[in-house]
């Protein structure tokens, strides 16, 4: 098989591990920078050019689309889908996951547990917005933030008002969420492939940090999750439509609460913490799906 990894940097840990895993299964692999792709959008013969030459012969693409290139990156994935190439995560699912507000609305519609969350447009609605999530302490989160950036803990009503006003002055879109005290500064990262949680870890923030992101100096440990947590993670990934995802969950007194569903979860933290070959499992999943797709096409031909 010929597989492309859509990534801006072949030296990134996740990209390197995926390359190694694909090669270990005797497949050809190359890294393709989505921003260097040019799309020929036509009904007759759509194709994709990369650095001046047409990309041909690919069986699958593994998207690693960062938040900074969401619009163009998902368009490239959509073009690969248009020409019949299997994408590990679809363009539609990536777009759903990247739009935090849309993602939470989809999960809420299907009954997935979430922290109380508020969203508003008018500046004079901030008092109601604060009350919607039970008042301070509360989390104020930029919709465009990643890896814990753009996330603020407001411990008083005055602090919440100041942060909300600052974000509004920047014309930034943001959510407010309840602060779940019983989580004690920890969350769960559940790594989902297909219909299975194949690895999980508990992340804990620094002593002076409420965010549990490893990128912000947090620590992690392998953890056994409960059946409700497992079912929630799998269901959340399925609702968003992702074949591979990292589902972040809080443990609360009322059960598991989903914080976020990630379409390009990093591999370093989960592999180093759990000692599992996550990249190898992803490569095996891609291989299986491509073979299934071929079998369906051959059966259709008769």
Task: Give the CATH number of the domain where residue 137 resides.
Answer: 3.30.1490.20
For residues 196-200, give the mean pLDDT: 97
> Model confidence over 221-265: pLDDT tens digits?
999 999 999 999 999 999 999 999 999 999 999 999 999 999 999
For residues 6-17, give the mean pLDDT: 97
Domains in the chain, number = 3
Query: Taking the CA of residue 26 as centre, how many other CA atoms within 13 Å lie in the half-sphere pointing to its CB?
Result: 0
Query: Please, is 30 exposed, middle or buried when counting C-beta atoms within 10 Å of its C-beta (0-12, 13-18, 19+)?
Result: middle
| Stronger pLDDT, 227 or 217, i.e. the higher one | 227
Q: How confident is the model at residue 210 (pLDDT cuts 50, 70, 90)?
A: low
Residue 97 maps to a domain? no
Residue 200 maps to a domain? yes
For residues 2-25, give the mean pLDDT: 97
Residues 6+ apart with CB under 8 A from 251: 182, 183, 186, 188, 229
| Stronger pLDDT, 186 or 207, i.e. the higher one | 186
Q: What is the pLDDT of residue 247?
A: 98
Q: What is the pLDDT of residue 215?
A: 54
> Model confidence over 120-151: pLDDT tens digits?
876 566 788 889 899 999 999 888 755 557 78
Handedness of CA 92, 94, 99, 104 (dihedral sign): positive
**Same-domain check for residues 151 and 221:** no
Residue 218 maps to a domain? yes
Q: How confident is the model at residue 112 (pLDDT cuts 50, 70, 90)?
A: very high
Q: What is the pLDDT of residue 143?
A: 82
Q: How confident is the model at residue 274 (pLDDT cuts 50, 70, 90)?
A: very high
**pLDDT higher than threshold 90 for residue 207:** no
Residue 295 maps to a domain? no
Task: Give the CATH number of the domain where residue 54 resides.
Answer: 3.40.50.20
User: Average pLDDT of the chain?
Assistant: 91
**Same-domain check for residues 254 and 190:** yes
Handedness of CA 14, 16, 22, 27 (dihedral sign): positive
Q: Please count the residues of the chain.
A: 302
CA–CA separation, 264 vs 286, rounded Å?
15
| Stronger pLDDT, 42 or 300, i.e. the higher one | 42
Residue ranges making up the domain that contains 258: 182-263
Residue 14 maps to a domain? yes
> Model confidence over 143-178: pLDDT tens digits?
875 555 778 899 999 999 888 888 888 888 889 999
Q: What is the pLDDT of residue 299?
A: 80
Q: What is the pTM of this model?
A: 0.89
Residues 6+ apart with CB under 8 A from 145: 151
Q: What is the pLDDT of residue 167?
A: 85
Q: Which of 126, 159, 179 is the last residue of a domain?
A: 179
User: Which range is least confidently modeled, 1-15, 56-70, 230-244, 288-302?
Assistant: 288-302
**pLDDT higher than threshold 60 for residue 28:** yes
Q: What is the pLDDT of residue 166?
A: 86
Cβ–Cβ < 8 Å for 140, 176: yes
Q: What is the pLDDT of residue 103?
A: 96
> Model confidence over 30-75: pLDDT tens digits?
999 999 999 999 988 899 999 989 999 999 999 999 988 999 999 9
Residue 109 maps to a domain? no
Residue 108 maps to a domain? no
**Same-domain check for residues 208 and 258:** yes
């Amino acid at each position: 098989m010929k597989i492309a990894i859509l990534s801006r940097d072949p030296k990134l840990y996740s990209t390197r591990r995926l390359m190694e895993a694909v090669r270990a299964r005797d497949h050809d692999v190359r890294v393709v920078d989505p921003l260097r792709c040019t799309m020929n959008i036509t009904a007759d013969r759509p194709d994709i050019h990369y650095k001046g030459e047409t990309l041909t012969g690919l069986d699958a693409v593994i998207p690693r689309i960062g938040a900074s290139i969401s619009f163009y990156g998902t368009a490239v994935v959509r073009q690969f889908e248009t020409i019949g190439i299997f994408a590990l995560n679809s363009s539609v699912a990536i777009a759903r996951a990247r739009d935090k507000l849309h993602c939470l609305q989809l999960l809420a519609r299907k009954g997935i547990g979430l922290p109380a969350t508020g969203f508003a447009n008018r500046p004079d609605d901030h008092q109601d917005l604060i009350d919607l999530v039970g008042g301070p302490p509360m989390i104020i989160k930029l919709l465009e933030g990643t890896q814990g950036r753009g996330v603020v803990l407001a411990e008083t009503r005055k602090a919440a008002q100041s942060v909300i006003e600052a974000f509004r002055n920047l014309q930034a879109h943001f959510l407010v969420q309840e602060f779940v005290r019983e989580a004690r500064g920890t969350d769960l990262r559940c790594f989902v492939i297909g219909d299975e949680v194949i690895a999980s870890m508990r992340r804990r923030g620094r002593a002076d940090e409420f965010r549990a992101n490893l990128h912000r100096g947090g620590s992690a440990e392998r953890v056994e999750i409960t059946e409700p947590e497992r079912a929630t993670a799998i269901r959340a990934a399925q609702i968003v439509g992702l074949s591979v995802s990292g589902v972040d969950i809080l443990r609360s007194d009322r059960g598991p609460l989903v914080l976020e569903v990630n379409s390009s979860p990093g591999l370093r933290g989960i592999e180093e913490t759990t000692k599992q070959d996550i990249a190898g499992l992803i490569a095996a999943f891609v291989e299986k799906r491509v073979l299934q797709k071929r079998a369906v096409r051959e059966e259709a031909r008769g």
